[in-house]
Amino acid sequence: MTNDRSLFIDGEFNTLNDYMITTAGGLILAISIGNARFDLLNSAGNKTEIVLKNCLYVPSLFTNLMSLKKLAANKVHFSTKLHVLTFNDKVIANLKITESS
């Protein structure tokens, strides 16, 4: 999910207007769904571009959110000790972990 419309690939963006329940019990509105490009940085500062399919456009979000379950289904591994994403045994991103309030 992202709040940045500019990340979506033109021609791959469909109207959705669907509400989702948050873990806190609130509602958020997903306006659209489509394929979005993201640049990830590894510890050396090298960029890896990924395309997230069926990414939700949620203007009210304050940050981007990724589903680790959906990443794992696409052969992307998350290390809970190192906080990195790997694909084909290559680190594609170092993640900043934040606490929810």
Q: Which residues contact 24 (CB under 8 A, 6 or more apart)?
A: none
**Sheet with 47-57, edge to edge strand ranges:** 8-21, 27-41, 47-57
What pLDDT tens digit does each residue of the chain (101 aa) get?
999 999 999 877 788 889 888 878 889 999 999 999 998 887 788 888 889 989 999 999 988 888 888 889 989 999 988 888 899 988 888 887 766 55
Question: 87: which 2 tokens?
Answer: 């694909």
Domain locations in the chain?
Answer: 5-94
Please state the pTM of the whole predicted model: 0.77
